[in-house]
C-alpha cells in the first residue's frame, strides 16, 4: 500500500498543475509558458536524477532512500503551497518535489521486484502500483481542479503533504529484503554527465519557440554530453570500475523495446493532458473544476483498465497488451481531434480522453513488468533507475514538445492544438512500432544478459 500510494502522489504531482494554469498565472503574475516550464522541469529533474538515485539505493538501502525521498518531497510541497512567485514555485515543485520523487520511486519498483518473485504475482503488484500511477496522473486534474475551485490552488500542495504523512506512517513496517552495501562506490562524474545531458536536450526542445538556432545548439550540446557520458561509462567498465549505469543493460533487446514503449506512453499521456488542459483554459476559458471534470473520462479509462490488469495478465501475453494499448491510445487521439474540431461543447473531449486513458492503462503494467523481469536481482537498482528515468523523460518530452507547439501558436490556438495532438499521435506510432518488435514469448524472470562489472 505505501509503495502504490507513493507512485500515486508522484504521478498526481506531474499532472495536477495542468488545471491550475489560469489561477497560477493570475496569482503569481506569470504566463502559460512559465507554468509549462515549472511542469516540465519537475518531470525533467526526476528523469535526470532517477538513474543516479536508483544506483544509490544499493549503497544507502532501498527503504532509507524511500523515506528520505518522502521527506524531501513533503518539504517541497509546503514550499510550493507558500510560494509568492513562480521562482519559489519552481524551487518547491520542480526542484524539491522532483528530487524527492527521484529518490523514492526507484525503491518502489526495486522492492516490488524483490518481494514478489514469480511473474504472475509480480504482475499483480506492478498492476496495483502502475495503476495507481496512472490514476494519479489522470485524477490530478480532477482533484486539483476541485481544490482550486473550492478554495485555492495552494491547498493542492497541502493535500500532497498530507498524503506524504500517511505514506510515512504506512511505510514504518516496510521490510528491505537486501542489506545496504555502504562500501559500494558511486560514479559522481557519470551522474553529473547524465543529468546535464538530459537537461540540455529537453531545454533545447523548449527553446524551439524562441530561436531555432538556440534549439539546435542546445540539442547538439546535449547529444555531445550524453555521448561523453556513455564514453565515460565504457572507460570505467574497461578499467574494472563500477560505473553509474552498466552498458550491459542496453544489450537486452526485449528490455530496450519495452523501455521505448514506456517512454512513449508517458509522453502521450502527459503531453495530451497539458495540451487539452491549456486549450480548455486559455481558449475555451474554462475554470479549474470544469477542466478537471472533463478529464474524468481519462480517469475512468485508466481506472477500469488498471483494475483489470491482473486478469488481463493471466489471459494475454505482455506484448499483446502493449500493442492493444497503443492502438486504443492512437485511436483516442484521432477521436479527440475529429470530435472537438468546430464543436464548442466540452463533452466532445470525453470519448477521446476515455480511449487515451484506457489505452495507457492497458499497457502501463506489462511494459514495466517486461523491463523489470528481464534482469536478475543484482541489477534491479540500475534497471529500476533507468526504467523510471526513461518514463519521466517521456513525460517531460511530451509536455515540452506538445506544450511548446501549443504555446508558440496561441495566436492561432485551434491550429496549434491540432498540430500538437497530431505530433503526439506520431509519437504514439513510434511506440506501436517498438511494441510490434517485442518477442511474443514471455521472458523468464532474470533471464537476461549480465552486465559487465556488476
Name the one residue in this structure whose C-alpha cell is 506489462: 366
Domain co-membership, 139 together with 229: no
Instruction: Count Cβ atoms within 10 A of the Cβ of residue 348 and give its class: 0-12 exposed, 13-18 middle, 19 or more buried.
Output: middle
- Model pLDDT, residue 89: 96
Rounded Cα distance between 124 and 406, Å, is 38
- Model pLDDT, residue 447: 41
- Model pLDDT, residue 57: 85
Task: Work out the angle at residue 168's Cα, subtended by the Cα atoms of residues 163 and 170, and round it to the nearest 5 degrees.
Answer: 95
Model confidence over 172-204: pLDDT tens digits? 888 888 888 888 888 899 989 988 998 898 888
Give the chain's mean pLDDT: 85
Domain co-membership, 141 together with 252: yes
Asked if the model's pLDDT at residue 343 lies above 70, the reply is: no
Domain co-membership, 144 together with 197: no
- Model pLDDT, residue 440: 76
Any domain includes 129? yes
Asked if the model's pLDDT at residue 87 lies above 90, the reply is: yes
Any domain includes 46? yes
Average pLDDT of span 107-124: 79
Task: Work out the angle at residue 222's Cα, subtended by the Cα atoms of residues 217 and 227, and round it to the nearest 5 degrees.
Answer: 125
Any domain includes 344? yes
Average pLDDT of span 349-355: 91
Locate 252 and state its grid cell.
Answer: 537486452
CATH number assigned to the domain comprising residue 303: 1.20.1250.20
Confidence at 441, pLDDT banded by 50, 70, 90: low
Domain count of the fold of the chain: 2
- Give the other-Cβ count within 10 Å of 221's Cβ: 16
Any domain includes 445? no
Asked if the model's pLDDT at residue 46 lies above 90, the reply is: no
Rounded Cα distance between 397 and 387, Å, is 15
% of the chain beyond a pLDDT of 70:
93
Any domain includes 453? no
- Model pLDDT, residue 383: 79
Model confidence over 257-309: pLDDT tens digits? 999 999 999 899 888 988 888 888 888 888 888 888 888 888 888 878 877 87
Confidence at 451, pLDDT banded by 50, 70, 90: very low
Domain co-membership, 115 together with 263: yes
Report residue 441 CA to chain centroid gap: 27
- Model pLDDT, residue 418: 86
Confidence at 311, pLDDT banded by 50, 70, 90: confident
pTM to 2 decimals? 0.78
Is residue 100 within 8 A of residue 70, CB to CB? The reply is: yes
Any domain includes 444? no
Confidence at 444, pLDDT banded by 50, 70, 90: very low
| Residue with more model confidence, 233 or 55 | 233
Weakest mean pLDDT among 23-32, 127-136, 220-229, 283-292: 127-136
Domain co-membership, 239 together with 262: no
Residue 253, helix vs strand vs coil: helix
Instruction: Count Cβ atoms within 10 A of the Cβ of residue 209 and give its class: 0-12 exposed, 13-18 middle, 19 or more buried.
Output: middle
Is residue 158 within 8 A of residue 77, CB to CB? The reply is: yes
Domain co-membership, 109 together with 42: yes
- Model pLDDT, residue 434: 94
Residue 175, helix vs strand vs coil: coil
- Model pLDDT, residue 166: 96
Instruction: Count Cβ atoms within 10 A of the Cβ of residue 75 and give its class: 0-12 exposed, 13-18 middle, 19 or more buried.
Output: middle
- Model pLDDT, residue 450: 35
Domain co-membership, 149 together with 130: yes
- Model pLDDT, residue 446: 44
Domain co-membership, 140 together with 288: yes
| Residue with more model confidence, 137 or 168 | 168
Of 243, 268, 286, which residue constitutes the final position of a domain? 243
Instruction: Count Cβ atoms within 10 A of the Cβ of residue 301 and give its class: 0-12 exposed, 13-18 middle, 19 or more buried.
Output: buried
Asked if the model's pLDDT at residue 232 lies above 70, the reply is: yes
Rounded Cα distance between 363 and 356, Å, is 11
Of 215, 243, 271, which residue constitutes the final position of a domain? 243
Rounded Cα distance between 131 and 163, Å, is 17
Asked if the model's pLDDT at residue 406 lies above 90, the reply is: no
Beta strands in 68-118 (DSSP E): none
Any domain includes 392? yes
Asked if the model's pLDDT at residue 140 lies above 90, the reply is: no
Average pLDDT of span 104-119: 82
Asked if the model's pLDDT at residue 445 lies above 70, the reply is: no
| Residue with more model confidence, 340 or 374 | 374
Average pLDDT of span 116-133: 76
- Model pLDDT, residue 453: 34
Range of the domain at 214: 187-243
Asked if the model's pLDDT at residue 50 lies above 50, the reply is: yes
- Model pLDDT, residue 133: 78
Rounded Cα distance between 397 and 399, Å, is 5
Rounded Cα distance between 170 and 25, Å, is 36
- Model pLDDT, residue 98: 92
Instruction: Count Cβ atoms within 10 A of the Cβ of residue 278 and give its class: 0-12 exposed, 13-18 middle, 19 or more buried.
Output: buried
Asked if the model's pLDDT at residue 329 lies above 80, the reply is: yes
Domain co-membership, 219 together with 250: no
Domain co-membership, 237 together with 345: no
Average pLDDT of span 252-260: 91
Domain co-membership, 416 together with 353: yes
Any domain includes 446? no
Domain co-membership, 129 together with 216: no
Asked if the model's pLDDT at residue 454 lies above 50, the reply is: no
Asked if the model's pLDDT at residue 443 lies above 50, the reply is: no
Asked if the model's pLDDT at residue 344 lies above 90, the reply is: no
Average pLDDT of span 76-88: 96
Amino acid at each position: 500500500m505505501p509503495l502504490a500510494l507513493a507512485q500515486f502522489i508522484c504521478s498526481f504531482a506531474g499532472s495536477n498543475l495542468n488545471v491550475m494554469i489560469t489561477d497560477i498565472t493570475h496569482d503569481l503574475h506569470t504566463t502559460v509558458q512559465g507554468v509549462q516550464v515549472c511542469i516540465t522541469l519537475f518531470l525533467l529533474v526526476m528523469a535526470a536524477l532517477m538513474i543516479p538515485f536508483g544506483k544509490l539505493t544499493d549503497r544507502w538501502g532501498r527503504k532509507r532512500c524511500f523515506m528520505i525521498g518522502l521527506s524531501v518531497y513533503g518539504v517541497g510541497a509546503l514550499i510550493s503551497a507558500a510560494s509568492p512567485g513562480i521562482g519559489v514555485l519552481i524551487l518547491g515543485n520542480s526542484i524539491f518535489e522532483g528530487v524527492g520523487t527521484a529518490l523514492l520511486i526507484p525503491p518502489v519498483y526495486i522492492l516490488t521486484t524483490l518481494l514478489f518473485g514469480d511473474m504472475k504475482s509480480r504482475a499483480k503488484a506492478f498492476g496495483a502500483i502502475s495503476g495507481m500511477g496512472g490514476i494519479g496522473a489522470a485524477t490530478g486534474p480532477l482533484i486539483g481542479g476541485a481544490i482550486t475551485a473550492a478554495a485555492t490552488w495552494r491547498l493542492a500542495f497541502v493535500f500532497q503533504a498530507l498524503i506524504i504523512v500517511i505514506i510515512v506512517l504506512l511505510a514504518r513496517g516496510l521490510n528491505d529484503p537486501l542489506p545496504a552495501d555502504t562500501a559500494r562506490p558511486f560514479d559522481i562524474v557519470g551522474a553529473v554527465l547524465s543529468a546535464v545531458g538530459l537537461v540540455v536536450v529537453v531545454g533545447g526542445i523548449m527553446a524551439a519557440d524562441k530561436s531555432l538556432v538556440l534549439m539546435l545548439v542546445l540539442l547538439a550540446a546535449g547529444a555531445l554530453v550524453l555521448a561523453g557520458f556513455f564514453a565515460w561509462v565504457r572507460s570505467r567498465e574497461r578499467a574494472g570500475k563500477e560505473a553509474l549505469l552498466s552498458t550491459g543493460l542496453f544489450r537486452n533487446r526485449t528490455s530496450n523495446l519495452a523501455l521505448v514503449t514506456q517512454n512513449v506512453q508517458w509522453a502521450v499521456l502527459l503531453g495530451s493532458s497539458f495540451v487539452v488542459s491549456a486549450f480548455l483554459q486559455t481558449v475555451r476559458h474554462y475554470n479549474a473544476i470544469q477542466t478537471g471534470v472533463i478529464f474524468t473520462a481519462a480517469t475512468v479509462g485508466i481506472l477500469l483498465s488498471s483494475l483489470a490488469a491482473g486478469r488481463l495478465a493471466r489471459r494475454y501475453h505482455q506484448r499483446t497488451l502493449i500493442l492493444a494499448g497503443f492502438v486504443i491510445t492512437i485511436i483516442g487521439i484521432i477521436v479527440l481531434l475529429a470530435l472537438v474540431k468546430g464543436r464548442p461543447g466540452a463533452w466532445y473531449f470525453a470519448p477521446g480522453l476515455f480511449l487515451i486513458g484506457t489505452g495507457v492503462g492497458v499497457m502501463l503494467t506489462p511494459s514495466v513488468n517486461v523491463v523489470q523481469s528481464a534482469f536478475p536481482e543484482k541489477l534491479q537498482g540500475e534497471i529500476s533507475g533507468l526504467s523510471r528515468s526513461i518514463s519521466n523523460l517521456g513525460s517531460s518530452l511530451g509536455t515540452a514538445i506538445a506544450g511548446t507547439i501549443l504555446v508558440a501558436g496561441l495566436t492561432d490556438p485551434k491550429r496549434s492544438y491540432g498540430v500538437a495532438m497530431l505530433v503526439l499521435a506520431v509519437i504514439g506510432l513510434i511506440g506501436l512500432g517498438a511494441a510490434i518488435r517485442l518477442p511474443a514469448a514471455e521472458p523468464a524472470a532474470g533471464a537476461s544478459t549480465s552486465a559487465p562489472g556488476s
